[in-house]
Amino acid sequence: MNHDVIIALDFPSAQDVYAFLDRFQDEKPFVKIGMELFYAEGPEIVRQIKARGHKIFLDLKLHDIPNTVKSAMRVLSRLDVDMVNLHAAGTIDMMRAALEGLTREDGTRPLLLAVTQLTSTSEERMQKELLISASMPDTVKHYAQNALQAGLDGVVCSPLEAALVKEACGPNFATVTPGIRFADSAADDQSRVMTPEKARLGGSDYIVVGRPITKAADPVAAYRRCVKEFVG
């Protein structure tokens, strides 16, 4: 299993992103493009960042009827991204359709990950509003197992849930975890955080890091520190 640090490019415009990426002269970090940037700039931002030599996690969290997700995934596979995701709540049928749409004619495809439950959803709200009566750990585990059954490559989850997912789905099922903070940095709006080193020891394969790198006085130094603490 690969281990890498993925920088969350949470910027409002292409101009801000390029100014940030221009700081990296000696390395090409794996980056995450989310809804804000994708909806603002369109597919062209993906092509441009890819042309600069970065690996890309396109974080659009698809969730619709299977046929629609399959067609959308087919379009995304042509963008040559390395990782995409969807909501496991869309059912095993939807996840299978997504995988089919994502697979290119030559048999290659980006890694496909499932979101189990968003880390912003508390157990209380999940049970009261969504009427899911199971506990949060049982729900995350069950959704991860559904993703495994559908043939997906892994899940996006809290670093606190990575060990549980590995135990339920095996060591080759990837865990991609946001909510990472250095021991000496602010938590911002993340309530449950882990350091890069603890995340690695807890079973994370990829960590997604935003503000501790993007808002650092020296983002390149912060990125290198993150890689050193996580990958060693």
Active site amino acids? 61
Please state the closest distance from residue 104 (CB atom) to ligand C5P, in A: 26
**Which residues, including other chains, have CB under 8 Å from residue 12's CB and lie 6 or more apart?**
36, 37, 40
Please state the closest distance from residue 61 (CB atom) to ligand C5P, in A: 8
Q: Using an 8 Å Cβ cutoff, are 115 and 86 in contact?
A: yes
Q: Does 159 bind ligand C5P (CB under 6 A)?
A: no
Stretch of residues binding ligand C5P (CB under 6 A), selected from 40-48, 162-170, 195-203, 207-215: 207-215
Whose Cβ is closer to ligand C5P: residue 154's or residue 179's? 179
Please state the closest distance from residue 44 (CB atom) to ligand C5P, in A: 20
User: What is the DSSP secondary structure assignment for residue 89, as one 8-state letter?
Assistant: G
d(CA 206, CA 91): 24
Size of the site for ligand C5P (CB under 6 A): 15
d(CA 137, CA 225): 31
Q: Does 119 bind ligand C5P (CB under 6 A)?
A: yes
Q: How many CB atoms lie within 10 A of CB 70?
A: 19
Whose Cβ is closer to ligand C5P: residue 17's or residue 156's? 156
Stretch of residues binding ligand C5P (CB under 6 A), selected from 98-106, 127-135, 136-144, 204-212: 204-212
Strand 174-177 relative to strand 206-209, pairing? parallel
Whose Cβ is closer to ligand C5P: residue 36's or residue 129's? 36
Please state the closest distance from residue 178 (CB atom) to ligand C5P, in A: 3
Q: Using an 8 Å Cβ cutoff, are 177 and 207 in contact?
A: yes
x/- letters, 5..44, toward ligand C5P (CB under 6 A): ---x-x-----------------------x----------
Cα separation values, 217 from 120, 177, 223, Å? 28, 24, 11
Strand 174-177 relative to strand 4-8, pairing? unpaired
Cα separation values, 17 from 9, 33, 123, 134, 189, Å? 7, 10, 35, 41, 22
Whose Cβ is closer to ligand C5P: residue 63's or residue 96's? 63
Q: Does 121 bind ligand C5P (CB under 6 A)?
A: no
By the criterion CB under 6 A, which residues form the site for ligand C5P? 8, 10, 34, 118-119, 156, 178-179, 188, 190, 208-212
